Amino acid sequence: MNPLLSTYVNHPHGANLMWNTAIPLVGVVLTPLTLTVGPVFAYNLVMTLALAVSAWTAYLAIHRYVTTAPAAWLGGLVYGFSPYMMAQSLGHPHLTIAFVPPLILLALDSLVIRQNRPALFIGIAAGALAALQLWIGEELLASSGLVAILGLFILMELNPDRVRAQSRYALRALAIASATFTVLAAFPLAVQFFGPQPLLRSLQPHNLYATDVLGFFVPTDMQQVAPEPAVGISRHFTGNLSEWNGYLSLPLIGLLVFTAIRFWPLKVVRFAASLGLLIAGLSLGFTLRFAGSLTAVASVVVALPLPAFRRVLPARTMVLALMVVPIALITVPVIDNLLPSRLMLYADLMAGFLLATFAQSALHWPAVRARGVAVCAIGLTAIALIPRLPYPSSSAATPSFFTSSSVRQIPEGAVVLVAPFARIGSGDAMLWQAMAGDRFQMPEGGVIADGNPYPADPPPSTSLNVLRGIETGTLPALTLTEPLRQSLLNDLNRWHVRMVIVGPMAHQELVLALYSSVLGATPSWQGGVYTWTLPDG
Amino acid sequence: MLRPRLLRAALPLSAYLALAVGLFANAWRAPFATIVGYPGDAFQSITA
């Protein structure tokens, strides 16, 4: 049995979990907790630890350069509680469990710059970290790899005199890292690319999820300080709330600019400012969008002023990256699933480095008044970045049928059709299935699988069309014709459904009437749901 | 020697953890029946 393939959703086709966001390693680690206290508690714990541990590893990375602990702590805060994290915490744990990228940065720092440990040790550590990220979530591994390559080129352009001396150790350690990664990642990558349902087409619409030009300055609904005129603008940004990740705020941008100019001689500032600026530029996507209006202007125009600053900035790398990467993100298979807006995670990490550098320096300024201004500036930044409070949450109410002994009426592993029909945007049935300890399989589910149309609907079927139509109100007056009845019965037969369950949902009475007619029987009411038991075979 | 170092490392983590629990207080008031965010729901609904 392959743990990276499942037919518990999308039955009988199932899904290749490596093309989904299954966070397999986190799932395995939390299994004892999930089995004892349930998936909802486990999920809440993951979402909470994701922020704290990500902020902490960012703190550790920043603390290597910023020795004052409170200053480094502020830097970690900017990363772990960034607008990116706040927006993605709405439902994307694979993107908020982001504690590995700062550790990869530490490893690369040891590998490329410090080189004060055996190359074998650093190489194995870097490769193991990359594999760890793969087992948590592949998207962050891909974006970390992209940012690491950009960072290396920036480093080389900023320090050309050191490239030759450092390259031999670095190449040896990188080769060891690659070998380590290959060993640890061979199985999941083999399942993904050579297993069932390889999905080499693009799974995301191109040039939609990218930062608006105003997105760096204008707060969204995820910020506590978000005046109505401002959110009136941000609500029109392309994409959706969880993908509006570009917000930095005016106070933070002001501090970053000040820090970059004032402390430019510091290598860490030159690197963080250059890489952060580049990532922010890349997050704009292929073409610019302004206040939600997509323009035909290629985002590479932001590179035009860079050559004028080539004496101070790594302009060659930045211009080349701004020309090549946006095209790669819409043309190169697999890579074209990276969403530009999500790159802001790394810009936030660089912002954390810069803010920590500023805070450390400001703490030691001799003039009391200057220190006071600095504290006010940091305070203003903190206020601007306060997330929306209370943070949104939703009910995980589950009919008692799924959490009591009633569910044992279903033979272990049998197929059950549950309404509301699970798909992206309607996950109740999947929650109930998890709360039932995965007792049964379902022909439905919000998963990405071969043959499923975007956005990850289950394979086309009459049941999907009818149940979705009734639930959403687009089929308010459905007439059950004989062909329709036969088609719905055919779905149940070909899926080998042993039970039909109708739980709490919109227009429940219409679904009950429909399946009573289709099955020629009235349902049983038990544990908060209506059920029809079907004969085996 | 190791203990002070561990403590120094654990202190910032504890502070972040306290912030995260406070941030998600809505979910932690009923952690078995309320879930952080809107997993499985349409994200756009939050703006409605």
pLDDT digits (tens, 9 = 90+) for A300-320: 999 999 999 999 999 999 999
In terms of domains, do A309 and A234 share one? yes
CA distance B28 to chain A (A): 8
Which of the listed residues A355, A385, A415 is the one where a domain comes to its end?
Answer: A385
| Other beta carbons less than 10 A from residue A161's beta carbon | 6
Q: Choose among A352, A339, A420, A347: nearest CA to A381.
A: A352
- Which among A48, A90, A428 has CB closest to B38? A90
**Band (B1; pLDDT cuts 50, 70, 90):** low
Q: Does residue A528 fall inside a structural domain?
A: yes
Give the nearest chain B residue to A242 (CA atoms): B43
User: In chain A, how many domains are there?
Assistant: 2
What are the chain B neighbours of A44 within 8 Å (beta carbons)?
A: 24, 27-28, 31, 34-36
pLDDT at A89: 97
pLDDT at A526: 97
Q: Does residue A5 fall inside a structural domain?
A: no
**Band (B43; pLDDT cuts 50, 70, 90):** very low
Would the CB atoms of A241 and B44 count as touching at under 8 Å? yes
CA distance A412 to chain B (A): 24
What are the chain A neighbours of B37 within 8 Å (beta carbons)?
A: 47, 89-91, 391-394
Per-residue pLDDT reduced to its tens digit, A37-71: 999 999 999 999 999 999 999 999 999 999 999 99
Would the CB atoms of B44 and A59 count as touching at under 8 Å? no
Using the Cβ of B48 and the Cβ atoms of chain A, whether some distance falls under 8 Å is answered with no
**Band (A325; pLDDT cuts 50, 70, 90):** very high
Using the Cβ of B10 and the Cβ atoms of chain A, whether some distance falls under 8 Å is answered with no
What are the chain B neighbours of A425 within 8 Å (beta carbons)?
A: 40-42
Percent of chain A with pLDDT over 70: 99
Instruction: Choose, out of B6, B35, B45, B47, the residue to mutate when testing the contact with A (most A CBs < 10 Å).
Output: B35
Between A and B, how many residue pairs show a Cβ–Cβ distance under 8 A? 134
Using the Cβ of B33 and the Cβ atoms of chain A, whether some distance falls under 8 Å is answered with yes
Q: Does residue A263 fall inside a structural domain?
A: yes
In terms of domains, do A376 and A406 share one? no
In terms of domains, do A201 and A319 share one? yes
For residue A235, which amino acid is it? R
Q: pTM here?
A: 0.95
> How high does pLDDT run on average in chain A?
95
Number of H helices, E strands in chain A: 21, 9
Range of the domain at A485: 400-533
Per-residue pLDDT reduced to its tens digit, A432-473: 999 999 999 999 998 888 776 665 678 889 999 999 999 999
Which of the listed residues A318, A350, A385 is the one where a domain comes to its end?
Answer: A385
A293 phi and psi, to 5 degrees? -95, 120
In terms of domains, do A208 and A283 share one? yes
Q: Does residue A198 fall inside a structural domain?
A: yes
Q: What average pLDDT score do residues B21-27 get?
A: 97
**Band (A250; pLDDT cuts 50, 70, 90):** very high
**Band (B46; pLDDT cuts 50, 70, 90):** very low
Strand partners, A387: A223
Q: Does residue A1 fall inside a structural domain?
A: no
In terms of domains, do A366 and A412 share one? no
Range with the lowest mean pLDDT among A98-107, A169-178, B32-41? B32-41
DSSP states of A286-353: SEEEETTEEEEEEGGGGGTTGGGGTTTS-HHHHHHHHHHHHHHHHHSTTGGG--GGGGHHHHHHHHHH
pLDDT at B42: 42
Rounded CA-CA distance A463/A491 in Å is 7
Number of H helices, E strands in chain B: 2, 1
Rounded CA-CA distance A122/A125 in Å is 5
pLDDT at A77: 98
Rounded CA-CA distance A227/A237 in Å is 16
- Which among B25, B27, B39 has CB closest to A427? B39
Sign, Cα dihedral of A192, A197, A202, A205: negative
In terms of domains, do A342 and A470 share one? no
pLDDT at B41: 53
pLDDT at B47: 36
Give the nearest chain B residue to A429 (CA atoms): B40
What are the chain B neighbours of A390 within 8 Å (beta carbons)?
A: 25-26
The conformational region for residue A334 under phi > 0 = left, psi -120 to 50 = alpha, else beta, is left
Q: Does residue A31 fall inside a structural domain?
A: no
Q: Is the model's pLDDT at A521 over the cut of 60?
A: yes
In terms of domains, do A254 and A107 share one? yes
Which of the listed residues A325, A354, A385 is the one where a domain comes to its end?
Answer: A385
In terms of domains, do A104 and A159 share one? yes
Q: Does residue A395 fall inside a structural domain?
A: no
Percent of chain A with pLDDT over 90: 91
Expressed in percent and rounded to 5, the helix, strand and coil fractions of chain B are: 65, 5, 30
In terms of domains, do A173 and A207 share one? yes
Would the CB atoms of B43 and A390 count as touching at under 8 Å? no
In terms of domains, do A256 and A322 share one? yes
Q: Does residue A76 fall inside a structural domain?
A: yes
CA distance B2 to chain A (A): 17
In terms of domains, do A242 and A277 share one? yes
In terms of domains, do A426 and A367 share one? no
Is the interface score ipTM higher than 0.90? yes
